[in-house]
A and B are shown apart, each in its own frame.
Chain A
């Protein structure tokens, strides 16, 4: 058997007006997990900002929210640049109102053996994932403090932050930084009523999963059989955890990293691992 399938995505969860007074910025909100979270927040009344460098992605995120009868705008931003972040917050405030929830979801990732990661490749990933998370959080907090209001930040971590990520050294190191930052900021900003938490997702395949990340794992059966849960994650399950953490029902939860992965990262290597294949034999960056 596998873990039970979840309710359908539109099953009532928290009260439908839970986020009616909230404006949520989701970086990378136009694809994958970001888009799923945008829908989850929109369903409960939030005004959603799809923040992304890519115009097509912004459009897709807006469409996904509007399809549910929700409200969304798209804003272009490179989160490695603090000036662009500040401008984005200005525009979001002007169009939707003060930003009260921030989801630092934007990331960059590609598979490569560590020896082949160029300085630019290293910087691109670490600056988007770690620097971007920090810069956006700082801007969010500054404005919340000025407004005398509370807020919630949700970062995206990964369980390989704890184990290391062979084949993704840059991404794993950056995610480890994000989890640690979550803990630091959770303590520093509790007094300002800004809660900071993190989500560490398991495998949630979606239509935007890049081909090179899908790799050989085509078809659900192969992947699902490897997992204690016996199935992959469904996007609405991620949305529920994300919205819960940012809701008033999680008012005493801060500095926490919530793992939603069907116990996948808990598989003990020694007892059930196939032969070890050297990383350089399978970790390949995409061909351009």
Chain B
């Protein structure tokens, strides 16, 4: 290789860049050895490279740039642990709820429960005599002897006295207009008033003597 002084810079550059073959490298080094004035240039070209070390400065961006992968729910291990736990919790709660005594239909006692003798009350109620029902109107009275359930519509003063051989005392429903009597023991008097319409005309009788001269 014939080295010219004009090409020396390019050759030195290529030498440091690693673009020359081994033969070209040796020829260049021989040329510089022959002409020491190029040694300084050769050294300066060698220093034109940025000195680097393998360690890279940490700029603190890694944690900001990373993207957390969002796994689907069925791939998360806690799902398989959490689902049975939730199911067990639900079952235990439902068992606890349905095992509690139902107090919805229990009577509310004003006295202590132990002081009430229900059997005594029932035995006393059996002592009531047979029913006598009297319905007295203005001029008519009627006895109801049927034992089948009846609905009585009370329009006037109605006196009901009934004594049957019933065994259970029902609630007193006589305060309402409809009274259901079905094997019950009732002895009470119901009085109700209803407006009645009179269907007669008003005219003076024959013995009426008008005192008003203008009449």
A binds B: no
Task: Name B residues whose Cβ lies closer than 8 Å to a Cβ of A.
Answer: none
